[in-house]
């Protein structure tokens, strides 16, 4: 069983906060929560976080932009938004990060479709419909039960792929467009 952390002496709060920031980036909310868990009273916690922001050592805007830049090739807009909100980043900062900064293009549907297609290609083995058996290939191709089985297998593979993209945070229309492009079913829209 894990023991609770030792209460933090108020005079050590600054050193502890710097130590945390030296190990990894935090949002203001995450750092305040870490200080709260160590038993630091609210007014001292607010002062430490405010001073770190003032010195530029704690910047939620930069954190959100870096987070999106780092994860944009593996997550959809919905997942990135939810993850940043869970980390305590304010909604306007989340929107700004998703809209892109000067260096990064925005996360628009076209970019997201490209990312989703790349993910489908990388994980194609998960979504391929099972091949027909040699016995079924030797049988008449017009056989209705085999065609129904193949169509059912294709529907299940498509559903697995849609579920995969949904869990990665891609919007349904982006996932559909990515599936159409990845499986050669391009539609004129």
Q: What is d(CA 27, CA 49) in angstroms, rounded to the nearest whole number?
A: 10
Tens place of pLDDT per residue across the chain (189 aa) = 777 777 788 889 999 999 999 999 999 999 999 999 999 999 999 999 999 999 999 999 999 999 999 998 889 999 999 999 999 999 999 999 998 766 677 778 888 899 999 998 888 877 775 554 444 444 444 566 788 888 888 888 889 999 999 999 999 999 999 998 888 765 443
| pTM of the full structure | 0.76
* Beta-carbon contacts of residue 54 (< 8 Å; ≥ 6 apart): none
**Crossing angle for the helix pair 77-86 and 60-71, to the nearest 10 degrees:** 140
Fold designation for 1-58: Arc Repressor Mutant, subunit A (1.10.10)
């Amino acid at each position: 069983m894990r023991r609770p952390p030792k209460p933090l002496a108020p005079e050590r709060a600054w050193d502890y906060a710097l130590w945390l920031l030296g190990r990894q980036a935090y949002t203001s909310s995450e750092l305040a929560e870490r200080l709260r868990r160590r038993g630091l009273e609210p007014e001292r916690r607010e002062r430490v976080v405010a001073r770190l922001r003032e010195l530029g050592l704690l910047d939620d805007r930069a954190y959100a932009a870096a987070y999106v830049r780092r994860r944009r090739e593996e997550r959809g807009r919905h997942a990135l938004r939810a993850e940043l909100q869970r980390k305590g980043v304010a909604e306007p900062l989340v929107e700004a990060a998703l809209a892109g900064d000067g260096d990064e293009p925005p996360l628009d549907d076209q970019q997201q479709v490209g990312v989703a297609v790349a993910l489908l290609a990388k994980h194609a083995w998960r979504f391929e419909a099972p091949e027909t058996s040699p016995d079924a290939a030797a049988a008449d191709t017009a056989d209705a039960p085999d065609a129904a089985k193949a169509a059912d297998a294709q529907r299940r593979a498509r559903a697995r792929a849609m579920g995969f993209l949904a869990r990665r945070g891609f919007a349904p229309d982006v996932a559909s467009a990515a599936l159409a492009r990845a499986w050669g079913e391009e539609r004129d829209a």
